[in-house]
Structure 1
Amino acid sequence: MSLYYSFTDYDIIQSPVWVGLQNFQTLFHDKLFWKSLYNTFYYTLVYCPLSVIVGVSLALLLNLKVRGMAIYRTIFYLPSIVPFVASSILWLWLLDPQFGIINSIIAIFGIQGPGWLVDPQWSKPALIMMGLWGVGAPMIIYLAALQDIPNEMYESADIDGAVGWQKILFITVPMLTPVILFNLIMGLIGSFQYFTQAYIMTKGGPNDSTLFYALYLYNNAFSYFHMGYASAMAWILFVIIMATTLLIFKSSARWVYYGGE
């Protein structure tokens, strides 16, 4: 039905009127459409690689044999199970430019903190930083994959005289690539649909700097009642996600290692 509605002028109340490709043509001349697309790609291209780096790094640290490690693992995993609404309200307080804890800590070192969510230049980095705080779910998957790597491989590397970074680069990372591929695709799909935090914390501001694609789609559908227009946006998003996912899958043959191959 959404595919049908994408070719109609539909305001939910009245019957849909067929308009053909008009919704798609209007979208390509809509400045907010391109702005929301840019914001979404910005978030995705920065957050997804950083989430892989931070997740793998935390997993490596939490894989060490240290007393009380179960407590540390629980602490780092907890943010990922906090509801988005609750975490958004928490981060609104943390990122407050005048009274927030983050700027208060920065001020100790004599540095004036940025405006974060009220500054267009810092609003998206602030949301990316908030997203990295909840990287516990992929971290747990990386941790499980690390514990599945045979110890014999590291023992052989020790015999050959390999140092720590060489073992990570030539054993750990290649063995983690299937899991990295999975988390990368899941993170990419989630990033393209980024909505809740921006809706609660900024409503798309300041100056449309956090108007993400899903938020603009929601506004068209349920604030302006342009359901046909929103349906066209939804199908464009579907095509973008499918194309990007297929591109990553196609490139995975060059960098993903599967044991036994």
Structure 2
Amino acid sequence: MGQTRTGRWNRRHTLLAAALLLPNLVLLIVFTYRPLIDNIRLSFFQWNLGSPTSTFLGWDNYVEWFTSDDSRTVLWNTLIFTSVAVIGSMALGLSLALLLDQKLFGRGAVRSLVFAPFVLSGAAVGVAFQFIFTPTFGLVPDLLTTIGITPPNFYQSSGWALFMVTLTYIWKNLGYTFVIYLAALQGRRRDLDEAAEIDAASGWTRFRQVVWPQLRPATFFLLITVLLNSFQVFDVIHTMTRGGPYGNATTTMVYQIYQETYTNRRAGYGATVASIMFVALLVVTLVQVWVMERGREK
């Protein structure tokens, strides 16, 4: 009798869980997995947007991407942009969080100012910084001229253009890393800080041995999310440089997908780039999760 009741109870919970999960699974299948499969299928075809027919190419699109000089430039731009954006936004976010975690006058207002750019539209931020870096009347060229430095033309130099869009994105994303690190700092064990003070530990020793170990979960979380977000930045690049100057100086993989699909009307080739980027992000995420699990086991 008891086993029968237990079986009914388990079946009831199973049916309830299925009823609650089914709508989400349907949405995931319709709006995530089905488009993903369609994109992978489309990557093996030559298809122009609006065309009623497509031509099967096999692996030709993939061979073209991996052997193209433009793809090497795009891949290099993506790696540089993503690496600098991740390291820069996390390092600055941690520094500001450590500073504003202390009792300072007006820290609440400063926290709001630091977080504010994150909620702004990337296109709006790109337009604003477009004027900030303008050679004729921009704020940055004026400041450099004031201190006796000849400002570079950010819109005519490939290296400086990539630096410009990367710096803009770091400024926009800084509020996100700052808030996550600040929450982690405020949730840490204060008794360990008091013990370090009693032991007369230096500031660096206290951070390295007491604070930093407690920030590792937040750091792993930020490393995954910021890397994935940085890898997919489109709006800042589109509004500031449109992938230029000189062709593809600031073109990343996401922007190449847009260019090939909507500008060059090569939707099949654009799907190929998207599939390659998906595999790359999947591998990076799996590696990060594996490293995080290894860290927890230790």
TM range (shorter): over 0.9
Please name the residue that 2:39 is paired with.
2
TM-score (norm 2): 0.83
Q: Which of residues 119, 133, 146 is equivalent to 1:81?
A: 119
Distance across 1 between alignment mates of 2:211 and 2:97: 11
Maintained 8 Å contact 1:174/1:257: no
Please name the residue that 1:209 is paired with.
249
Maintained 8 Å contact 1:8/1:17: yes
User: Is 108-117 or 135-144 further displaced after alignment?
Assistant: 108-117
Q: CA deviation at 1:185?
A: 0.9
**Is 2:48 aligned against 1:11?**
yes
Maintained 8 Å contact 1:175/1:257: no
Please name the residue that 1:243 is paired with.
283
SS at match of 2:155: helix
SS at match of 1:206: coil
Tell me the alpha carbon deviations over residues 64-87 of structure 1, each in whole angstroms, 9 at most, x when there is no partner. Answer: 111221111111111111111111
Q: CA deviation at 1:59?
A: 0.6
Maintained 8 Å contact 2:165/2:240: no
The alignment of Structure 1 onto Structure 2 pairs a total of residues equal to 258
Q: Which of residues 95, 112, 136 is equivalent to 2:150?
A: 112
Please name the residue that 2:74 is paired with.
36
Maintained 8 Å contact 2:257/2:270: yes
Q: CA deviation at 1:257?
A: 6.1
Q: CA deviation at 1:41?
A: 0.5
TM-score (norm 1): 0.94
For residues 90-169 of structure 1, the aligned pairs below 5 Å read: 90-134=128-172, 135-169=174-208
Distance across 2 between alignment mates of 1:4 and 1:67: 58
Please name the residue that 1:55 is paired with.
93
SS at match of 1:245: helix
Please name the residue that 2:24 is paired with.
none
Select the structure of larger CA radius of gyration: 2
Letter of the aligned partner of 1:122 in structure 2?
Answer: W
Letter of the aligned partner of 2:181 in structure 1?
Answer: Y
Distance across 2 between alignment mates of 1:31 and 1:90: 33
Distance across 1 between alignment mates of 2:106 and 2:65: 54
Distance across 2 between alignment mates of 1:193 and 1:41: 12
Distance across 2 between alignment mates of 1:156 and 1:70: 28
Please name the residue that 1:230 is paired with.
270
Distance across 2 between alignment mates of 1:74 and 1:111: 33
Q: CA deviation at 1:253?
A: 4.8
Aligned in 2, Cα 1:96/1:257: closer, same or farther, shift over 3 Å? farther
SS at match of 1:162: coil
Maintained 8 Å contact 1:39/1:209: yes
Percent identity, aligned pairs only, is 28
Q: CA deviation at 1:8?
A: 1.1
Q: For structure 2, which runs of at least 5 residues remain unmatched after alignment?
A: 1-37
Aligned in 2, Cα 1:215/1:228: closer, same or farther, shift over 3 Å? same
RMSD value, Cα: 1.6
Maintained 8 Å contact 1:178/1:257: no
Q: Which consecutive segments of 4 or more residues in structure 1 shift more than 6 A?
A: none
Tell me the alpha carbon deviations over residues 202-242 of structure 1, each in whole angstroms, 9 at most, x when there is no partner. Answer: 11111221011111111111112111111111110001111
Distance across 2 between alignment mates of 1:11 and 1:218: 13
Letter of the aligned partner of 1:217 in structure 2?
Answer: I
